[in-house]
């Protein structure tokens, strides 16, 4: 799939399935294709453990983005930031706010009060205060997070689905054009490409939609 899509997408997201199966060797093979990598492992543990994981992750080939869970709290996020290298060419660290598969009822079941929107914005503000570079969030929260966290904060929405495609298990989703309009820096697309009958055509259609949205926005 990576060989097929090289040159048609800007970055490959490596999640728990591939990393569990292939580990650093999988990243090395992707990196040899010239690919940039978003290491989407969502670290969520005690601060010392997360700091160690971040120090290891930034040494892996090709990693441009990696993430932790904002729900791990201030001490954990600050430890993750402290484990990052310095300099303009370093990878960027993101914090996951509220998973796009969760709605208000699901949050209440685990003891989190308030709407997903309000919780996501609050977690984004906490992540910014901890020195995190940006957040992974639902596209529904992009405008509010941009307003709360400023123009330099990276916004990486998940749950992106082209118009007419299957939404799968996403509860809070949007089209690529809507995400760009609302301030996304990156657009995370998974199954809408990987499970398409023609993944290259699907990727190119999404890239064209993003380009049109950027022209309109500018």
Rounded to 5°, the CA angle 141-143-144 comes to: 65
Catalytic pick from 13, 36, 42, 152?
Answer: 42
Tokens of 36: 């940039």
Give the DSSP letter of residue 118. Answer: H
Backbone angles phi, psi at 66, to 5 degrees: -150, 165
Q: Round to whole Å and give the CA distance between 134 and 70.
A: 11
Q: Is 42 a catalytic residue?
A: yes
Nearest to 95 by CA among 78, 64, 70: 70
Which residues belong to the active site?
42
């Amino acid at each position: 799939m990576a060989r097929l899509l090289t040159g048609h997408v800007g970055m490959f997201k490596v999640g728990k399935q591939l990393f569990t199966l292939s580990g650093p060797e999988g990243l090395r093979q992707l990196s040899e294709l010239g690919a940039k990598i978003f290491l989407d492992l969502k670290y969520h543990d005690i601060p010392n453990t997360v700091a160690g994981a971040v120090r290891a992750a930034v040494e892996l080939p090709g990693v441009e983005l990696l993430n932790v869970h904002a729900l791990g709290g201030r001490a954990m996020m600050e430890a993750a930031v402290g484990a990052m290298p310095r300099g303009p060419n370093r990878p960027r660290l993101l914090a996951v706010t509220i998973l796009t598969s969760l709605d208000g009822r699901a949050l209440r079941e685990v003891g989190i009060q308030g709407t997903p929107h309000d919780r996501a914005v609050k977690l984004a503000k906490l992540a910014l205060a901890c020195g995190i570079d940006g957040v992974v969030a639902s596209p529904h929260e992009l405008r509010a997070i941009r307003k709360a966290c400023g123009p330099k904060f990276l916004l990486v929405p998940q749950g992106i689905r082209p118009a007419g495609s299957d939404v799968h298990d996403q509860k809070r989703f949007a089209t690529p054009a809507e995400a760009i309009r609302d301030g996304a820096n990156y657009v995370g697309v998974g199954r809408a490409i990987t499970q398409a009958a023609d993944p290259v055509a699907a990727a190119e259609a999404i890239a064209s939609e993003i380009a049109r949205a950027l022209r309109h926005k500018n």
